[in-house]
Amino acid sequence: MSNLKALKGNVVFTPSFGEYKIVKNGYVVFEGKNVVGTFESLPEEYSAAEVVDHGDKLIIPGFVDLHLHAPQFANRGLGIDKELLEWLKVYTFPEESKYQDIDFAKKAYQNFVYELWKHGTTRSVVFATLHNESTILLMDLMDKVGLGALVGKVNMDRNCPDFYIEDTQKSIEDTESFIKATIDKYENIKPIITPRFVPTCTGELMEGLGELARKYSVKVQSHLSENRGEVEWVKELHPECSSYAGVYEKYGLFGGDVPTVMAHCVWNTAEEMELMAKNKVFVAHSPYSNLNISSGIAPVREFITKGIPVGLATDISGGHDVSMASVIAVSAQVSNMRWVYVDENYKPLNTPELFYLATKGGGEFFGKVGSFESGYEFDALVIDDSSLADVNERSIEERLQRYIYIGDDRNIVERYVAGVKLEEPKF
Protein backbone atom coordinates (compact mmCIF):
# COMPACT_ATOMS: atom_id res chain seq x y z
CA MET A 1 0.00 0.00 0.00
CA SER A 2 1.16 3.52 -0.70
CA ASN A 3 1.67 6.07 2.04
CA LEU A 4 1.03 3.46 4.74
CA LYS A 5 2.43 4.40 8.16
CA ALA A 6 2.20 3.25 11.77
CA LEU A 7 3.06 4.55 15.21
CA LYS A 8 4.02 2.07 17.90
CA GLY A 9 3.50 2.72 21.61
CA ASN A 10 0.77 2.66 24.23
CA VAL A 11 -2.32 3.59 22.23
CA VAL A 12 -5.23 5.11 24.18
CA PHE A 13 -8.56 6.41 22.84
CA THR A 14 -12.29 6.36 23.66
CA PRO A 15 -14.49 4.88 20.93
CA SER A 16 -17.51 5.38 23.19
CA PHE A 17 -18.33 7.77 26.01
CA GLY A 18 -16.41 6.87 29.14
CA GLU A 19 -14.73 3.71 27.81
CA TYR A 20 -11.03 3.56 27.07
CA LYS A 21 -9.61 1.31 24.41
CA ILE A 22 -5.98 0.64 25.27
CA VAL A 23 -3.52 -1.19 23.07
CA LYS A 24 -0.40 -1.61 25.17
CA ASN A 25 2.80 -1.71 23.14
CA GLY A 26 0.60 -1.73 20.08
CA TYR A 27 0.22 -0.04 16.73
CA VAL A 28 -2.05 2.56 15.19
CA VAL A 29 -1.88 2.25 11.41
CA PHE A 30 -2.91 5.04 9.05
CA GLU A 31 -2.84 5.59 5.32
CA GLY A 32 -2.88 9.09 3.97
CA LYS A 33 -5.09 11.09 6.32
CA ASN A 34 -7.21 8.21 7.66
CA VAL A 35 -6.79 5.58 10.35
CA VAL A 36 -6.68 1.97 9.18
CA GLY A 37 -6.93 0.49 12.68
CA THR A 38 -5.20 -0.34 15.95
CA PHE A 39 -3.43 -3.65 16.52
CA GLU A 40 -1.57 -5.52 19.25
CA SER A 41 0.89 -6.71 16.63
CA LEU A 42 1.36 -5.46 13.10
CA PRO A 43 -0.68 -7.59 10.67
CA GLU A 44 1.17 -9.15 7.76
CA GLU A 45 -0.91 -7.16 5.27
CA TYR A 46 0.56 -3.95 6.75
CA SER A 47 4.13 -5.19 7.03
CA ALA A 48 5.27 -2.65 4.44
CA ALA A 49 4.15 0.24 6.64
CA GLU A 50 6.72 2.79 7.73
CA VAL A 51 6.80 2.29 11.51
CA VAL A 52 7.90 4.88 14.07
CA ASP A 53 8.53 3.14 17.38
CA HIS A 54 7.77 5.41 20.34
CA GLY A 55 8.61 2.79 22.94
CA ASP A 56 6.72 3.26 26.20
CA LYS A 57 5.20 6.62 25.26
CA LEU A 58 1.45 7.28 25.11
CA ILE A 59 -0.27 7.81 21.75
CA ILE A 60 -3.62 9.62 22.06
CA PRO A 61 -5.99 11.48 19.71
CA GLY A 62 -5.35 15.19 19.27
CA PHE A 63 -7.37 17.55 21.43
CA VAL A 64 -10.41 19.41 20.07
CA ASP A 65 -11.23 22.88 21.42
CA LEU A 66 -14.85 23.52 20.52
CA HIS A 67 -14.90 27.25 21.34
CA LEU A 68 -12.32 30.03 21.72
CA HIS A 69 -11.70 33.64 20.65
CA ALA A 70 -8.40 34.10 18.81
CA PRO A 71 -8.23 37.93 19.14
CA GLN A 72 -8.72 37.66 22.90
CA PHE A 73 -5.53 35.64 23.35
CA ALA A 74 -3.62 38.72 24.52
CA ASN A 75 -6.26 39.35 27.20
CA ARG A 76 -5.82 36.04 29.06
CA GLY A 77 -5.91 36.56 32.82
CA LEU A 78 -7.39 40.06 32.61
CA GLY A 79 -10.77 41.22 33.83
CA ILE A 80 -11.71 38.00 35.56
CA ASP A 81 -13.16 39.94 38.47
CA LYS A 82 -15.98 41.12 36.18
CA GLU A 83 -19.15 39.46 34.94
CA LEU A 84 -19.77 38.83 31.25
CA LEU A 85 -21.37 42.05 30.02
CA GLU A 86 -19.01 44.39 31.87
CA TRP A 87 -16.04 42.26 30.81
CA LEU A 88 -17.06 42.60 27.14
CA LYS A 89 -17.32 46.38 27.45
CA VAL A 90 -14.07 47.00 29.32
CA TYR A 91 -11.72 44.40 27.82
CA THR A 92 -13.08 42.44 24.88
CA PHE A 93 -14.51 44.94 22.44
CA PRO A 94 -11.54 47.36 22.71
CA GLU A 95 -9.08 44.53 22.10
CA GLU A 96 -10.94 43.05 19.15
CA SER A 97 -11.25 46.43 17.45
CA LYS A 98 -7.44 46.51 17.08
CA TYR A 99 -7.57 43.73 14.47
CA GLN A 100 -8.47 46.16 11.71
CA ASP A 101 -4.69 46.79 11.77
CA ILE A 102 -3.31 43.85 9.78
CA ASP A 103 0.22 44.22 11.16
CA PHE A 104 -1.07 44.08 14.72
CA ALA A 105 -3.25 41.10 13.81
CA LYS A 106 -0.35 39.19 12.28
CA LYS A 107 1.82 39.51 15.38
CA ALA A 108 -1.02 38.59 17.73
CA TYR A 109 -2.33 35.69 15.66
CA GLN A 110 1.15 34.18 15.25
CA ASN A 111 1.37 33.96 19.03
CA PHE A 112 -2.09 32.42 19.24
CA VAL A 113 -1.44 29.78 16.57
CA TYR A 114 1.88 28.81 18.12
CA GLU A 115 0.21 28.19 21.47
CA LEU A 116 -2.44 25.96 19.91
CA TRP A 117 0.29 23.89 18.29
CA LYS A 118 2.34 23.79 21.48
CA HIS A 119 -0.51 22.50 23.65
CA GLY A 120 -1.68 19.83 21.22
CA THR A 121 -4.95 21.42 20.10
CA THR A 122 -5.18 19.84 16.67
CA ARG A 123 -8.72 21.07 15.86
CA SER A 124 -10.55 24.16 17.08
CA VAL A 125 -13.70 26.20 16.49
CA VAL A 126 -12.63 29.82 16.53
CA PHE A 127 -14.18 33.29 16.75
CA ALA A 128 -12.12 35.98 15.03
CA THR A 129 -13.32 39.61 14.68
CA LEU A 130 -15.51 41.73 12.39
CA HIS A 131 -12.62 42.14 9.96
CA ASN A 132 -12.42 39.91 6.88
CA GLU A 133 -8.78 40.61 6.08
CA SER A 134 -7.36 39.70 9.47
CA THR A 135 -9.71 36.72 9.83
CA ILE A 136 -8.43 35.27 6.55
CA LEU A 137 -4.89 35.98 7.75
CA LEU A 138 -5.61 33.87 10.83
CA MET A 139 -6.83 31.02 8.61
CA ASP A 140 -3.69 31.32 6.47
CA LEU A 141 -1.48 31.03 9.56
CA MET A 142 -3.35 28.02 10.93
CA ASP A 143 -3.18 26.33 7.54
CA LYS A 144 0.55 27.01 7.29
CA VAL A 145 1.11 25.21 10.60
CA GLY A 146 -1.17 22.35 9.56
CA LEU A 147 -3.88 22.73 12.18
CA GLY A 148 -7.54 21.95 11.54
CA ALA A 149 -10.16 24.57 12.36
CA LEU A 150 -13.48 26.23 11.71
CA VAL A 151 -12.93 30.00 11.82
CA GLY A 152 -15.60 32.68 11.87
CA LYS A 153 -15.78 36.33 10.91
CA VAL A 154 -17.84 37.77 13.80
CA ASN A 155 -21.15 39.59 13.18
CA MET A 156 -22.52 42.38 15.43
CA ASP A 157 -24.89 45.21 14.48
CA ARG A 158 -26.47 46.41 17.75
CA ASN A 159 -25.65 47.05 21.41
CA CYS A 160 -21.96 47.50 20.64
CA PRO A 161 -19.60 50.48 21.03
CA ASP A 162 -19.41 52.92 18.11
CA PHE A 163 -15.80 51.88 17.41
CA TYR A 164 -16.72 48.19 17.02
CA ILE A 165 -20.03 47.67 15.24
CA GLU A 166 -21.24 46.90 11.71
CA ASP A 167 -23.98 48.06 9.39
CA THR A 168 -26.46 45.20 9.04
CA GLN A 169 -26.39 44.80 5.28
CA LYS A 170 -22.62 45.24 5.09
CA SER A 171 -22.19 42.58 7.75
CA ILE A 172 -24.18 40.12 5.64
CA GLU A 173 -22.33 41.08 2.46
CA ASP A 174 -18.93 40.84 4.15
CA THR A 175 -19.82 37.44 5.56
CA GLU A 176 -20.76 36.15 2.12
CA SER A 177 -17.51 37.51 0.68
CA PHE A 178 -15.62 35.83 3.52
CA ILE A 179 -17.30 32.49 2.83
CA LYS A 180 -16.62 32.67 -0.91
CA ALA A 181 -12.97 33.52 -0.29
CA THR A 182 -12.29 30.67 2.12
CA ILE A 183 -14.72 27.79 1.63
CA ASP A 184 -12.48 25.98 -0.87
CA LYS A 185 -9.14 27.60 -0.05
CA TYR A 186 -7.83 25.11 2.52
CA GLU A 187 -7.90 21.38 3.19
CA ASN A 188 -8.46 21.45 6.96
CA ILE A 189 -9.62 25.03 7.61
CA LYS A 190 -13.20 26.06 6.83
CA PRO A 191 -15.37 29.14 7.47
CA ILE A 192 -18.14 29.08 10.06
CA ILE A 193 -20.97 31.61 10.40
CA THR A 194 -20.58 33.55 13.64
CA PRO A 195 -23.28 35.79 15.09
CA ARG A 196 -21.61 36.85 18.33
CA PHE A 197 -24.75 36.34 20.40
CA VAL A 198 -28.37 37.45 20.28
CA PRO A 199 -27.93 40.76 22.16
CA THR A 200 -25.50 42.06 19.51
CA CYS A 201 -27.37 40.82 16.42
CA THR A 202 -30.64 42.20 15.07
CA GLY A 203 -33.28 39.90 13.66
CA GLU A 204 -32.49 41.18 10.18
CA LEU A 205 -28.84 40.23 10.57
CA MET A 206 -29.60 36.79 11.99
CA GLU A 207 -32.09 36.11 9.21
CA GLY A 208 -29.46 36.99 6.61
CA LEU A 209 -26.86 34.78 8.28
CA GLY A 210 -29.30 31.88 8.41
CA GLU A 211 -29.87 32.22 4.68
CA LEU A 212 -26.11 32.18 4.05
CA ALA A 213 -25.69 29.08 6.23
CA ARG A 214 -28.20 27.20 4.10
CA LYS A 215 -27.01 28.63 0.77
CA TYR A 216 -23.39 27.59 1.30
CA SER A 217 -23.91 24.64 3.72
CA VAL A 218 -21.75 26.38 6.32
CA LYS A 219 -21.85 25.53 10.02
CA VAL A 220 -22.78 28.01 12.77
CA GLN A 221 -21.26 28.98 16.13
CA SER A 222 -22.49 31.34 18.82
CA HIS A 223 -23.18 31.70 22.57
CA LEU A 224 -26.21 30.54 24.52
CA SER A 225 -27.40 31.11 28.09
CA GLU A 226 -23.98 31.89 29.52
CA ASN A 227 -24.91 34.41 32.17
CA ARG A 228 -28.16 35.19 34.02
CA GLY A 229 -28.06 38.88 33.13
CA GLU A 230 -27.57 37.99 29.47
CA VAL A 231 -30.54 35.58 29.55
CA GLU A 232 -32.82 38.27 30.98
CA TRP A 233 -31.60 40.75 28.37
CA VAL A 234 -32.54 38.35 25.57
CA LYS A 235 -36.05 38.04 27.04
CA GLU A 236 -36.41 41.82 26.85
CA LEU A 237 -35.07 41.99 23.30
CA HIS A 238 -37.19 39.11 21.97
CA PRO A 239 -40.45 38.80 23.94
CA GLU A 240 -41.95 37.04 20.90
CA CYS A 241 -39.73 33.99 21.51
CA SER A 242 -40.28 31.56 24.35
CA SER A 243 -36.56 31.03 24.98
CA TYR A 244 -33.05 32.22 24.15
CA ALA A 245 -32.56 29.13 21.97
CA GLY A 246 -35.84 29.92 20.28
CA VAL A 247 -34.39 33.15 18.88
CA TYR A 248 -31.66 31.25 17.04
CA GLU A 249 -34.22 28.67 15.94
CA LYS A 250 -36.47 31.40 14.53
CA TYR A 251 -33.71 32.55 12.20
CA GLY A 252 -32.41 29.13 11.12
CA LEU A 253 -29.27 29.24 13.26
CA PHE A 254 -29.90 26.34 15.60
CA GLY A 255 -28.89 22.96 14.24
CA GLY A 256 -30.97 20.62 12.15
CA ASP A 257 -29.88 21.20 8.56
CA VAL A 258 -27.30 23.75 9.80
CA PRO A 259 -24.81 22.05 12.17
CA THR A 260 -24.41 24.35 15.15
CA VAL A 261 -22.26 24.66 18.26
CA MET A 262 -23.31 26.87 21.17
CA ALA A 263 -20.85 27.87 23.85
CA HIS A 264 -21.59 27.66 27.59
CA CYS A 265 -25.27 26.66 27.96
CA VAL A 266 -25.14 27.16 31.72
CA TRP A 267 -28.75 28.29 32.26
CA ASN A 268 -30.67 26.35 29.63
CA THR A 269 -34.31 25.54 30.28
CA ALA A 270 -35.90 22.13 29.77
CA GLU A 271 -37.55 23.49 26.63
CA GLU A 272 -34.19 24.56 25.22
CA MET A 273 -32.60 21.21 26.00
CA GLU A 274 -35.41 19.43 24.20
CA LEU A 275 -34.84 21.60 21.14
CA MET A 276 -31.07 21.06 21.32
CA ALA A 277 -31.49 17.30 21.47
CA LYS A 278 -33.92 17.36 18.55
CA ASN A 279 -31.64 19.54 16.40
CA LYS A 280 -28.38 17.94 17.61
CA VAL A 281 -26.95 21.30 18.64
CA PHE A 282 -23.48 20.86 20.16
CA VAL A 283 -22.57 22.31 23.55
CA ALA A 284 -19.07 23.74 23.98
CA HIS A 285 -18.55 23.30 27.72
CA SER A 286 -16.22 26.08 28.90
CA PRO A 287 -15.56 25.60 32.63
CA TYR A 288 -12.65 28.00 33.11
CA SER A 289 -14.62 30.85 31.58
CA ASN A 290 -17.76 29.97 33.51
CA LEU A 291 -15.77 30.16 36.74
CA ASN A 292 -13.76 33.28 35.89
CA ILE A 293 -16.66 35.52 34.89
CA SER A 294 -19.15 34.12 37.40
CA SER A 295 -21.48 32.39 34.96
CA GLY A 296 -22.15 29.12 36.79
CA ILE A 297 -21.73 25.36 36.31
CA ALA A 298 -23.25 23.80 33.22
CA PRO A 299 -25.27 20.56 33.63
CA VAL A 300 -23.05 18.52 31.29
CA ARG A 301 -24.23 15.09 32.48
CA GLU A 302 -27.83 16.14 31.85
CA PHE A 303 -27.00 17.22 28.31
CA ILE A 304 -25.39 13.87 27.56
CA THR A 305 -28.25 11.92 29.13
CA LYS A 306 -30.70 13.82 26.92
CA GLY A 307 -28.71 13.04 23.77
CA ILE A 308 -27.21 16.50 23.29
CA PRO A 309 -23.67 16.31 21.82
CA VAL A 310 -20.98 17.92 24.01
CA GLY A 311 -17.35 18.89 23.61
CA LEU A 312 -14.92 20.84 25.80
CA ALA A 313 -13.56 24.33 25.23
CA THR A 314 -11.02 26.79 26.61
CA ASP A 315 -13.07 29.88 25.68
CA ILE A 316 -9.97 32.04 25.53
CA SER A 317 -9.97 34.63 27.03
CA GLY A 318 -12.92 34.21 29.36
CA GLY A 319 -10.93 31.09 30.07
CA HIS A 320 -7.27 31.76 30.81
CA ASP A 321 -5.60 28.45 29.87
CA VAL A 322 -4.96 27.22 26.30
CA SER A 323 -4.34 23.64 27.46
CA MET A 324 -7.19 21.21 26.78
CA ALA A 325 -5.64 18.80 29.27
CA SER A 326 -6.17 21.47 31.93
CA VAL A 327 -9.75 21.93 30.72
CA ILE A 328 -10.37 18.20 31.30
CA ALA A 329 -9.13 18.57 34.87
CA VAL A 330 -11.20 21.65 35.70
CA SER A 331 -14.25 20.06 34.04
CA ALA A 332 -13.97 17.24 36.54
CA GLN A 333 -13.65 19.69 39.40
CA VAL A 334 -16.71 21.77 38.50
CA SER A 335 -18.67 18.58 37.90
CA ASN A 336 -17.82 17.50 41.44
CA MET A 337 -18.97 20.87 42.77
CA ARG A 338 -22.26 20.65 40.89
CA TRP A 339 -22.89 17.37 42.70
CA VAL A 340 -21.88 18.86 46.07
CA TYR A 341 -23.62 22.24 45.88
CA VAL A 342 -26.31 22.10 43.20
CA ASP A 343 -27.75 18.62 42.76
CA GLU A 344 -26.96 15.68 45.03
CA ASN A 345 -28.37 13.33 42.39
CA TYR A 346 -25.93 14.61 39.76
CA LYS A 347 -23.25 12.03 38.94
CA PRO A 348 -19.87 13.72 38.51
CA LEU A 349 -17.98 13.19 35.26
CA ASN A 350 -14.91 10.96 35.38
CA THR A 351 -11.63 11.09 33.47
CA PRO A 352 -12.45 8.69 30.59
CA GLU A 353 -15.77 10.49 30.05
CA LEU A 354 -14.07 13.87 29.90
CA PHE A 355 -11.23 12.55 27.75
CA TYR A 356 -13.90 11.43 25.28
CA LEU A 357 -15.46 14.92 25.28
CA ALA A 358 -12.04 16.51 24.64
CA THR A 359 -11.35 14.22 21.67
CA LYS A 360 -14.14 12.32 19.92
CA GLY A 361 -16.99 14.26 21.55
CA GLY A 362 -15.87 17.61 20.19
CA GLY A 363 -14.34 15.98 17.13
CA GLU A 364 -17.76 14.84 15.92
CA PHE A 365 -18.52 18.48 15.03
CA PHE A 366 -15.81 18.11 12.37
CA GLY A 367 -16.94 14.66 11.23
CA LYS A 368 -14.83 11.55 11.82
CA VAL A 369 -12.28 13.19 14.11
CA GLY A 370 -11.01 12.43 17.60
CA SER A 371 -10.63 8.64 17.62
CA PHE A 372 -8.40 5.90 16.26
CA GLU A 373 -11.28 3.92 14.82
CA SER A 374 -11.01 2.85 11.20
CA GLY A 375 -11.91 5.65 8.80
CA TYR A 376 -11.29 8.48 11.28
CA GLU A 377 -8.84 11.19 10.34
CA PHE A 378 -5.51 10.56 12.01
CA ASP A 379 -5.08 13.39 14.52
CA ALA A 380 -2.69 12.31 17.25
CA LEU A 381 -0.36 13.35 20.03
CA VAL A 382 2.63 11.38 21.25
CA ILE A 383 3.10 11.90 25.00
CA ASP A 384 6.38 11.29 26.79
CA ASP A 385 5.30 11.13 30.42
CA SER A 386 8.61 9.78 31.76
CA SER A 387 9.27 13.06 33.58
CA LEU A 388 6.07 12.48 35.57
CA ALA A 389 6.91 8.94 36.67
CA ASP A 390 7.28 7.92 40.31
CA VAL A 391 8.66 4.86 42.12
CA ASN A 392 5.45 2.89 41.54
CA GLU A 393 4.40 0.99 38.44
CA ARG A 394 1.35 2.70 36.97
CA SER A 395 -1.34 1.49 34.60
CA ILE A 396 -1.82 3.19 31.24
CA GLU A 397 -5.07 4.73 32.57
CA GLU A 398 -3.23 6.15 35.58
CA ARG A 399 -0.44 7.51 33.42
CA LEU A 400 -2.91 9.30 31.15
CA GLN A 401 -4.77 10.77 34.12
CA ARG A 402 -1.51 11.95 35.66
CA TYR A 403 -0.47 13.63 32.39
CA ILE A 404 -3.84 15.41 32.25
CA TYR A 405 -3.50 16.75 35.79
CA ILE A 406 0.22 17.48 36.19
CA GLY A 407 1.71 17.29 32.70
CA ASP A 408 2.15 20.15 30.26
CA ASP A 409 3.16 20.94 26.68
CA ARG A 410 6.72 19.72 27.30
CA ASN A 411 5.37 16.18 27.46
CA ILE A 412 4.03 16.38 23.88
CA VAL A 413 6.76 15.17 21.51
CA GLU A 414 4.82 14.74 18.24
CA ARG A 415 1.59 16.12 16.78
CA TYR A 416 -0.38 14.92 13.75
CA VAL A 417 -3.37 16.36 11.88
CA ALA A 418 -5.06 14.34 9.14
CA GLY A 419 -2.04 12.06 8.85
CA VAL A 420 0.53 14.86 8.59
CA LYS A 421 3.18 15.35 11.26
CA LEU A 422 3.29 18.99 12.37
CA GLU A 423 6.65 20.68 12.72
CA GLU A 424 7.26 23.54 15.14
CA PRO A 425 5.91 26.75 13.59
CA LYS A 426 8.45 29.16 12.14
CA PHE A 427 6.83 32.48 11.32
pLDDT tens-digit map of 54-93: 999 999 999 999 999 999 999 998 888 888 788 888 999 9
In the prediction, which pLDDT does 80 show? 80
- pLDDT tier for residue 1 given thresholds of 50, 70 and 90: very low
Task: Kindly state the percentage of the chain with pLDDT values over 70.
Answer: 100
What's the confidence (pLDDT) of residue 277?
A: 98
3-class SS of residue 269 = coil
User: Is this structure's pTM higher than 0.95?
Assistant: yes
Mean pLDDT for the chain overall: 97
Closest CA to 363 of 40, 66, 29: 66
Distance in Å from the first CA to the final CA of the chain: 35
Q: Which domains does the chain show, CATH number per domain? A: 4-62+370-421 (2.30.40.10), 63-363 (3.20.20.140)
Which pLDDT score, from 0 to 100, does residue 327 have?
98
On the question of a cis peptide bond just before residue 386, with omega within 30 degrees of 0, the verdict is no
Instruction: Average the pLDDT over 296-301 and give the result.
Output: 97
24 DSSP assignment: E
Percent of the chain with pLDDT over 90: 95
Residues 307-365 have pLDDT tens digits of 999 999 999 999 999 999 999 999 999 999 999 999 999 999 999 999 999 999 999 99
What gap in Å lies between CA 61 and CA 422, rounded to an integer? 14
